[in-house]
Chains A and B, each alone.
Chain A
Amino acid sequence: MLLSSVVLILREVLEGALLMSVLLALSWHQGYRLRWALASLFVGAVGAVLYAAEFKTISSWFDYVGQEVVNASLSLLIVLFLTLFSLFYTAYKDRYDRQKIVFMSIAVALTIIREGSEILLYLSGFTGKDDVLPSVALGGIIGAGIGMSVGALLYYSLIDFMSAYTRRVAYMLLALFSAAMLSDAVTMLTQADWLPARHYLWDSSSWLAEDSLMGQLLYALLGYEATPTALQLAAYICGLLLVLVLPSLYKKGVASDASN
């Protein structure tokens, strides 16, 4: 019980912690105060409690695929706000700071709602079971601790030396995270039969298994998938373009408007 709760909580915490670290690092490079993270933690936690409390009802929506639809919607909203952030971040260097902070906060809060609700549902299965509760709680604390430590490690490696370089790495990680989210939304909608299902394009599980440690880490950070479908791959590429290419085009547009 101890080990499985470590793994489960770690997996859920890792995704939120990594996004938060990347965005906190970008905030640091922008010279923002990092208070926004506390607000989005709080909002995310409240949202996760509400989602978990209504989970049974939500799951039965749309002929029992409500969970996929809501999770896909959350993922799509996260992509939307990360894209908005990257647009403002790239096009307006020292303006619209409040907007950039709001976009980051919403993206983190939505991530916490998704991952947090799953943790709460998991833990809810152990209420009243005094024999296993201590080991589950301990496992959860260890899992959350490891997840946050990895996040902290990433944050500190993204802020310190050579700020131009680390800033670019952080931005690149943001693009990969966003791509993973979009690909995840496609997976969810395929699982719900809202999008057509197809055979996968390749199988790289013998090279890097998804359930290996490295596979798990790459899944949380980059959305690694050993057997992706064409639709998932297309979504991933779209997600990358939204953060890496669209903002540069938008910036050019803004610059030419300003010169006219």
Chain B
Amino acid sequence: MKYLYIKLISYFLFYLCVTSAHAATPEFRIEIKDHLFFPAELTVPANTKVKLRIFNLDPTPEEFESYELNREKVIVGNSQTVIFIGPLLPGDYPYFGEFNPKTAQGIIHAE
């Protein structure tokens, strides 16, 4: 009986691993340095959910903001964060740093 439980639990864990691996969201990295986004242009797959991991290497906070992506998030200085975007139709989606909008400009191409 005990053996059966262990078997069932391991099946379940295996199932979890398989499904989560299958559902893995593509991840992209963006850095903020001197109030600029790197890379300023990023190409991501269209029609699928995408995970952006953003590193703010400046000591000051920044706000990732995009009307087109419908996203808004503050990233404090010297920290990282995660933003999920999409699924996006093919096209260009500009974003900017709301705290430094003159310099911090970026664009995401979905294709």
For the complex formed, measure the closest distance between the CB of B81 and the CB atoms of chain A, giving whole angstroms: 5
Interface residues of A in 164-198 (CB under 8 A from B): 187, 190-193, 197-198
Residue among B53, B70, B75 having the largest count of chain A Cβ atoms under 10 Å:
B70
User: Which A residues touch B81, using CB under 8 A?
Assistant: 59, 64, 67
Is the beta-carbon distance between A209 and B99 smaller than 8 angstroms?
no
Residues of B within 8 A of A227 (CB): 68, 70
Expressed in whole angstroms, the Cα–Cα distance for A142 and B101 within the complex equals: 18
Within 8 A of A (CB), among B48-89: 49, 51, 53, 60-63, 67-68, 70-71, 73-77, 79-87, 89
Q: How many residues of A contact B (CB 8 A)?
A: 33
Chain B residues contacting A200 (CB-CB under 8 Å) are 70
User: Chain B nearest CB: distance from A199 CB in Å?
Assistant: 6
Q: How far is the CB of B85 from chain A (nearest CB, A)?
A: 8
> A28 contacts the other chain (Cβ, under 8 Å)?
no
Most buried by A among B71, B75, B76, B101: B76
In the assembled complex, the Cα of A63 lies from the Cα of B83 at a distance in Å of: 11
Task: Give the complex CA separation of A211 and B74 in angstroms.
Answer: 18
Min Cβ gap B55→A in Å is 11
Asked if B98 contacts A8 (CB within 8 A), the reply is: yes
Cα distance A5–B71 when bound, in Å? 20
Q: Mark A13-55, 1 if CB is under 8 A from B, else 0.
A: 0000000000000000000000000000000000000000001
A211 touches B80 (CB 8 A): no
B-chain residues with CB within 8 Å of residue A121 when the two chains form the complex: 61, 74, 76
Shortest Cβ distance from A138 into chain B, in angstroms?
17
Query: What's the minimum C-beta distance from A61 to chain B, rounded to whole angstroms?
Result: 11
Beta-carbon contacts under 8 Å, B18-76 to A = 25, 47, 49, 51, 53, 60-63, 67-68, 70-71, 73-76
Sample of 20 A–B contacts (CB below 8 Å): A4-B100, A59-B81, A65-B82, A121-B74, A121-B76, A122-B61, A122-B63, A122-B99, A125-B60, A190-B84, A191-B71, A191-B73, A191-B84, A191-B85, A197-B49, A197-B85, A197-B87, A198-B87, A209-B67, A227-B70
The 5 lowest CB-CB distance pairs between A and B, nearest first, are: A125-B60, A64-B82, A210-B67, A193-B84, A56-B76
